[in-house]
């Protein structure tokens, strides 16, 4: 059990809550200990256009929420520094979150280490993908925006994906910067990864992140059937999001 592999199994958080937190910490989530508190708080924020996904995550983390854990930053008239309205979640300060803080931080800073990655579950990976993953190259390759991690940390992620998950990934430099991203360049490897996380995609608006695009109608219908089979969504919902997505990709516009 995940609880038995973290902090002596004493954390009172539910397994599902920890899995979501551990995945989101690879993406948009953060853990911080604010003065004068002794314990950590978990926080994340998303654009208002991702309200459905934000609300799902906030509901899933209700056990660590307080009375005022959710609020809006910026507005259409006065956007925040990100240039658009943001929805923000911040938990209560809890000893259980401090245990996770110790797992994922070294010398007070988040550091990718195998002892963190080894407790990730398919749900954790699904949250990471929904936070920071994207389909690119005519929606036949995938990339994780790991810009905030060092090259050595991205290498650790690369080895984890290959050795533990059996998914072939590569590392790509972002232009001439010191930022690096983790890529899934093979369509076969991408399919394998998406099959792993599909049962944990619970938000319809996130379906475009798992919908591969094919020009061959037979291959397209085959992937639609896989998405329907492995997720809880009805075919009509999946097909609607596929049509909407194809309208945004010029090579697939009818």
List per-residue pLDDT tens for the chain, 254 residues long: 444 344 333 448 999 999 999 999 999 999 999 888 899 999 999 999 999 999 999 999 999 999 899 999 876 555 444 457 899 999 999 999 999 999 999 888 899 999 999 999 999 999 999 999 999 987 889 999 999 999 999 999 999 999 999 999 999 999 899 999 999 999 999 999 999 999 999 999 999 999 999 999 999 999 999 999 999 899 999 999 999 998 887 666 55
Quick check: is 113 in a domain? no
Please tell me the predicted confidence (pLDDT) of residue 5. 40
Count of CB atoms situated within 10 Å of the CB of 201: 21
Q: Of 196, 192, 144, whose CA–CA distance to 170 is shortest?
A: 144
Residues 128, 21: one domain?
no
Domains held by the chain: number: 2
pTM of the model: 0.90
Structural domain including 192 reads 122-252
Residues 162, 236: one domain?
yes
Please tell me the predicted confidence (pLDDT) of residue 35. 86
Count of CB atoms situated within 10 Å of the CB of 219: 12
pLDDT in tens, 95-112: 999 999 999 998 888 999
For residues 254 and 217, the answer to whether their CB atoms sit within 8 Å is: no
CATH of the domain at 158: 3.10.28.10
Residues 152, 97: one domain?
no
Check the CA dihedral 176-181-184-190 and report its sign: negative
Question: What value does the CA radius of gyration of the chain take, rounded to a whole number of Å?
Answer: 19
Residues 139, 84: one domain?
no
Q: Give the C-alpha separation, 89 to 151, whole Å.
A: 29
Please tell me the predicted confidence (pLDDT) of residue 248. 83
Packing angle, helices 15-24 and 95-104, rounded to 10? 40
H or E element, residue 167: none
Count of CB atoms situated within 10 Å of the CB of 166: 11
Residues 189, 132: one domain?
yes
Q: How buried is residue 165: exposed, middle or buried, by Cβ count under 10 Å (0-12/13-18/19+)? A: middle
Quick check: is 228 in a domain? yes
pLDDT in tens, 101-158: 999 998 888 999 999 999 999 999 999 999 999 999 878 899 999 999 999 999 999 9
Residues 25, 89: one domain?
yes
């Amino acid at each position: 059990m995940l609880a038995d592999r973290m902090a002596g199994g004493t954390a009172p958080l539910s397994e599902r809550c920890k899995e979501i937190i551990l995945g989101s910490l690879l993406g948009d989530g953060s853990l911080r200990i604010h003065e004068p508190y002794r314990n950590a708080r978990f926080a994340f924020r998303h654009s208002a256009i991702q309200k459905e996904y934000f609300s799902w995550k906030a509901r899933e983390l209700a056990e660590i929420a307080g009375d005022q854990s959710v609020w809006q930053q910026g507005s259409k008239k006065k956007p925040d520094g990100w240039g658009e309205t943001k929805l923000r979640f911040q938990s209560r300060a809890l000893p259980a979150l401090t245990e996770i803080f110790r797992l994922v931080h070294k010398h007070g800073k988040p550091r990718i280490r195998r002892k963190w990655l080894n407790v990730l579950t398919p749900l954790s990976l699904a949250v990471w993908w929904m936070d920071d993953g994207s389909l690119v190259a005519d929606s036949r390759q995938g990339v994780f925006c790991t810009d905030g991690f060092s090259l050595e940390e991205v290498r650790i992620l690369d080895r984890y994906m290959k050795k533990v998950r059996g998914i072939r990934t590569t590392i790509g430099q972002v232009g001439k910067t010191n930022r690096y991203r983790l890529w899934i360049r093979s369509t076969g490897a991408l399919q394998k990864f998406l099959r792993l996380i599909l049962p944990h995609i619970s938000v319809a608006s996130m379906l475009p992140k798992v919908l591969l695009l094919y020009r061959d109608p037979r291959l397209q219908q085959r992937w639609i059937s896989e998405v329907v089979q492995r997720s809880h969504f009805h075919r009509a919902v999946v097909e609607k999001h596929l049509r909407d997505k194809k309208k945004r990709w010029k090579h697939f516009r009818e």
